[in-house]
Structure 1
Amino acid sequence: MMGYIKKFLRRQGRFFFSMYGPALLTIIFALLQAHYFPGSPVWPTGVLFILIMIIIGRYVKW
């Protein structure tokens, strides 16, 4: 029974990371960029999001 619960929780964790991980990393990057570099452009946030999506899609296999 514990093995089933571990397997279920691991599967749910992977699902949530693959769904919300890129957005969460992008939001954290945007907040840090706005805090430390207030006059910086917005386009690096979009570029980072695209790169994160490519990296997670290509290199993170479940």
Structure 2
Amino acid sequence: MNVVGLGLIYKLDIDQHKHFVFVEMTPTSAGCGTGAIIASDVKDKLLQVPNFKDVKVSVVCDLP
């Protein structure tokens, strides 16, 4: 599943000095029960990127 292609990622901030990544995303729909699972998958994948030591994924339902 390509969460970027689906438009679920709204914000991505990378702090190269702290090796930290912050992602803000939305679930596929309001009341979607898989939002936390998808967020966990996003975090797991980002932690596989070399030099990323800490990742926070925030699921928000306030669409821009």
TM-score interval, normalised by the smaller of the two chains: 0.3 to 0.5
The higher-RCO structure (CA 8 Å, 6+ apart) is: 1
Structure holding more strand per residue: 2
Structure holding more helix per residue: 1
Q: TM-score, normalised by structure 1?
A: 0.36
Q: TM-score, normalised by structure 2?
A: 0.35
